Amino acid sequence: MVKGQIIQSLSGYFDVLADERIYRTRARGNFRNKKEVPYVGDWVEFKADNEREGYLLKILERKNSLVRPPVANVDRAIVVTACVEPKLSTNLLDRQLASLRNNNIAPMLYFSKADLLSQDEREKLVKLVDYYQQYFPCFIFSKEDPKEIKDDFLGQVSSEVIVVMGQTGAGKSTFLNLIAPGLNLKTAEVSKALSRGKHTTRRVTLRQIQNNLIADTPGFSSFEILDVSKEELPLLYPDFVALQDNCKFRGCLHLKEPQCAVKAAYEDGTILASRYENYVQFQSDIAKRKPKYN
């Protein structure tokens, strides 16, 4: 029995890295019986007579996991958000950020395709990024500045599992090609009729880039509501947490409570309008969510 880490998942096969060798494995039937699904990033115990025929025996304890994309034991996330094509969605961005915080994953925000914006659109983007920059590392990039990405981010972290995530067509594969040109990952144009990108990434793979394992993952066009309670949601907003001690009521949900510091900050423009309005929608989604019974 050998211990290793899953670095690729494709069509029921799992490639496991152990002792600088890669073993192709399959999950035994007991995983289905226990309703366990191996994720890329999982540390596992497996048995293999050779590098092409192995079987997973056990998934070791995870420190966290994401469903979209399906990756486990993540240290950091690069959230790629397109400025245009597809249209920038702060709603999707805020869902992703809350989900990452809920899993104790440190995010970095990259706003792609800024070179396609008009001057007025660029100025609006800068104001938006300036707000998020207060709480998360942010970069605006285009095809001309991969060196900044390498020097300011990848040069500062090491031996981490990093997931690149974002909407379909946001430019995740393009981003990885910029920082690691040797990958030559396939990219595709965005369908203007649907404002959705074609899925150029069909599998989840951890790639060795500058001493880190970075996951190139399939894109998506939606992101489900978080599996959190109405009381937990405001704690996933660092900008709200910074103000919550000024609310009149302890445990304020920042909705209808009087003398709420977060609502006051929203009304005077201190909190980004879309940020608060997305939060209200998420709270509404949680309230409508059907209860789960064990």
Q: How many residues does the chain have?
A: 294
CB 16 within 8 A of CB 25: yes
> In this structure, what are the phi and psi dihedrals at residue 137, rounded to the nearest 5 degrees?
-60, 130
**Is 199 among the annotated ligand-binding positions?**
no
**Is 217 among the annotated ligand-binding positions?**
no
CB 265 within 8 A of CB 243: yes
**Is 29 among the annotated ligand-binding positions?**
no
**Is 254 among the annotated ligand-binding positions?**
yes
Enter the tokens of residue 94: 């805020």
**Is 260 among the annotated ligand-binding positions?**
yes
Q: Please say whether the dihedral angle defined by the alpha carbons of residues 61, 66, 70 and 75, taken in this order, is positive or negative.
A: negative
Calculate helix-pair angle for 273-288, 90-102, nearest 10 degrees.
Answer: 70
**Is 247 among the annotated ligand-binding positions?**
yes
**Is 12 among the annotated ligand-binding positions?**
no
**Is 166 among the annotated ligand-binding positions?**
yes
**Is 115 among the annotated ligand-binding positions?**
yes
**Is 98 among the annotated ligand-binding positions?**
no
Picking from 113, 109, 123, 121, the residue whose alpha carbon sits closest to that of residue 164 is 109
**Is 200 among the annotated ligand-binding positions?**
no
**Is 83 among the annotated ligand-binding positions?**
no
**Is 138 among the annotated ligand-binding positions?**
no
Alpha carbons 108 and 153: distance in angstroms, whole number: 9
Q: What residue numbers does the annotated binding site cover? A: 112-115, 166-174, 247, 252, 254, 260
Q: What residue numbers does the annotated binding site for Zn(2+) cover? A: 247, 252, 254, 260
Q: What residue numbers does the annotated binding site for GTP cover? A: 112-115, 166-174
